[in-house]
Chain A
Amino acid sequence: MSTTDLRPDSIATSPPGTDVAAGTGAVAATAAWLTSADSKVTGIKMIGCSLLALAATAVVGVLLGLERVSGSDSLFDAGALPQLFVAFRIGLVFGVLAPLLLGIALAIVPLQVGARSLAFPKVAAAGFWTWLSGLVLVIVSLAANGGPGGGEAKMVDLFLAAQVLLVVGLAAVSLALATTVLTTRAPGMRLGRVPFFSWSVLVAAIGLLLMLPVLVGVLIYLFVDHQHARALFGGNAGVGSWIGFALTQPATYLYALPAVGITAELVPVTFRTRMPMRGVIYAGLALVGVAALSGVTQQAFHDVPWTGSGGTKFEDLLPYAIFTLLPLLGVVIVLGVGALAGKPDGSGTRPNITAPFLFGFFGLGMIFVGMLAGALLPIKDLGLQGTVFEESALVYVAYGGVLCALGGIAWWLPKWTGRTVPMVPAMGLALLGVLATVLAALPYVIAGFADQPASSGTYDYSGPSGLWNVLVTIGHALMVLTALAFAALVLRPARAGDEASGDDPWHAQTLEWTTTSPAPVDNYAEVPTVMSPEPALARRGPDGADR
């Protein structure tokens, strides 16, 4: 029985402007590419810019590490240092983590749900350009001493306005993605059959649409107050504390949620099985999003008593558990069900470990460790607030999300280019990436317990503290290397053997693998009817051959 049937509807023609390269010159082709509203092109542009931002942000991490270990021979003046701290944090969150995953979603979600195009593709394209211009202006303002606590008033104003652009752009992309999953699914694709990545994008996009407007409201107040009275929001110095909620845990879990979806997507293909208990995975992904959103509204530190009666302990532990531990539980659920899928069933089927899976597996592990660190952070008695422990938790989640995203890019590359990444070098990069993440984050877990402050250049960095900071610097440098090497691997000229073997080189399960590789502009020549959660698997049948 075939579970994917093709409906005899008409074949959409390619939109005008997609074939301009032939005969009209490189300039026209470039202009058409830059102004294209095809969501795959928009997504690829967003991915490319985010990877550039990743390299730049990791370089800032290296500079910060060098500044910390330089002792009295400071590399930067006192005014520049806070700008670097802000640049690192904003770069990680709004320059890399959120846009990288949303970019992959733009390029893949319409294919996954069987849509011919994204809902509101021009809104998404406008969102990309708005985000990019905001990012550039944020960099300009920070370079001109205009970030939180910056000395140039006009540049602080520019920073606040650019932040609005950055956030509005991401919100526009989220709107297009959520609407796509809700309204443009192929016939037969109920929400219970939506691929895990698309589901995680839906949850994250709705969460971002609830959270980012609040940040926009804060930024509007800050902008007006800073331009005029500077009476209520603490002027330049207060900016960081007012917008900080969007740049730290648990807001970062919301940005990283699609990364969890990518890994959940790869598990059943790797272990050559159907994912058991799909509903539980959906619930786990939704739990991460909902619990992270509820935590964003609180931003509270908790007294977690180790003594006292059982009733008192329960009353104090309950809010901590709800706002801090529930997102962690969501990831535990995904990991647990994933482990069930990987359990040997006695059939002798060996898992097909690929580079994308390695990226995803290690990335999810890093996110999980970051969430564990994030769970310790709000406990008052540990005294970790204001130390580099915060940076450690952020780096774990952000770099973990990046690793999953690199896995996603390697996985879906055939859908965009018709080529696969070479497996062995990509696996090496996955290992290098996880090493970079551990080095960039783990030493600050230790240094956090040793009370190294988060954003101060006046700490005594001699002794073991110096070692932790050197290791962190090396970690960021390795992440620069990982990002550049991965980009080189993807962009290198095609060689023999790079072409994807068929439309589905992975023997995957989800709908996007039933269309050609690379996918056409309008995704599907005929919109398929979906009759199972694994339409590509069902189409191949028990013998593995396409029906």
Chain B
Amino acid sequence: MTRALPAGPAAPPRRQLFVGTALAGVATLMLIGGMLAIWILQRQRALDAGELWVPRGIEIPGVPTNVMLIGIWALCIFAQWASWSARRADRPHTAVALGLTAVMAIAIINAQAYVYNQMELPIAETGYAGMFYAITGTMTALMVVGLAFTGVATFRFLGGRMQDREVVAAHALYWYILAIAFSAMWLIVYVTK
């Protein structure tokens, strides 16, 4: 006797994680964008009042900050590589790409710590210092979130959920958005000062 197969499950939601990440990414851009806008406003006020903006004797090390910028865009390439290979169910390539993404993220966070060490900027003495630590600290926290996202994507994909490609694509999207935010911050905080 032929028996009908049971009906399949309901259609899965349409790229829920990807859309959610895009919305969270827009919120991230607004967070950093708003902080940069206030940075520019306060700097202009200080300059208009004839005051120094960057305190005397404080140097922002150029090399590590430039390396951070290069690093975050290189990281995006690795994240995209992971997404590309995950779509093709290429497990070894996905593993290498996600691993490199995580290493680059750790390197950038490490570079930020190095910048803090080199600058030796006392937080309690000037308004500039507080703003500098606030905005760069926020960016570092967002990097840590990105690193955690990479970890989740790695464990889920390599843990056997090979069909769960969306998480890898969404994690790549998050890093792209963070790279845009970091580039703006690099230009305004580290270059224009």
Contacts and interface: CB of A to CB of B under 8 A. Distances in A.
A470 interface: no
A527 B123 CA distance: 56
B188 to A, nearest CB: 14
A183 B13 contact: yes
Interface stretch (B22-30, B56-64, B90-98, B101-109): B22-30
Nearest to A214: B34
Contacts of B13: 115, 119, 183-184
Interface string B122-133: 011111011101
Nearest to B32: A217
Contact of A225 (B24, B35, B127): B127
Interface string B11-29: 1011110011001101110
A175 interface: yes
B9 A9 contact: yes
Given A182-B19, A183-B14, A184-B13, A224 B24 contact: no
A139 interface: no
Interface of chain B: mostly helix, strand, loop or mixed: helix
A279 B157 CA distance: 42
B187 interface: no
A232 B42 contact: yes
B16 A184 contact: yes
A7 B8 CA distance: 10
A61 B44 CA distance: 40
Interface in A301-317: none
Contacts of A183: 13-16, 19-20
Contacts of B7: 7-10
A218 B28 contact: no
B15 to A, nearest CB: 6
B71 to A, nearest CB: 24
A218 B38 contact: yes
Contact of B127 (A171, A217, A231): A231
Interface residues of B, number: 37
Interface in B133-152: 133-134, 137-138
A496 interface: no
A214 B14 CA distance: 29
Interface in A161-189: 171, 175-176, 178-179, 182-184, 187
B47 interface: no
A212 B30 CA distance: 9
Contact of A7 (B10, B33, B131): B10
Interface residues of A, number: 41
A228 B131 CA distance: 11
B31 interface: yes
Interface in A208-236: 209-218, 220-221, 223-225, 227-229, 231-233
B130 A224 contact: yes
A217 B138 contact: yes
Contacts of A220: 35, 134, 138
Interface string A200-213: 00000010011111
Interface in A112-129: 115-116, 119-120
Nearest to B134: A224
A12 B12 CA distance: 13
B34 A224 contact: no
A229 B122 CA distance: 10
Contacts of A9: 7-10
Contacts of A215: 34
Interface in B55-83: none
A221 B38 contact: yes
B50 interface: no
B11 to A, nearest CB: 7
A210 B27 contact: yes
Contacts of A120: 16, 20
Interface in A298-354: none
A187 B11 contact: yes
A217 B27 contact: no
Given A119-B13, A210-B30, A224-B134, A229 B19 contact: no
Nearest to A115: B13
B6 interface: yes
Contact of B31 (A10, A213, A232, A233): A213
Nearest to A211: B30
Nearest to B8: A9
A7 B33 CA distance: 46
28 contacts: A9-B7, A9-B8, A10-B9, A119-B13, A175-B27, A178-B23, A184-B13, A187-B11, A209-B27, A210-B26, A210-B27, A213-B28, A213-B31, A213-B34, A214-B34, A217-B35, A224-B130, A224-B131, A224-B137, A228-B129, A228-B130, A229-B123, A229-B124, A229-B126, A229-B127, A231-B126, A232-B127, A527-B11
Question: A-B pairs with the 6 shortest C-beta distances?
Answer: A231-B127, A232-B127, A214-B34, A213-B31, A217-B35, A217-B34
Interface of A: 7-10, 12, 115-116, 119-120, 171, 175-176, 178-179, 182-184, 187, 206, 209-218, 220-221, 223-225, 227-229, 231-233, 527
Given A9-B10, A209-B26, A228-B129, 5 more contacts: A187-B11, A213-B27, A218-B38, A224-B130, A225-B134
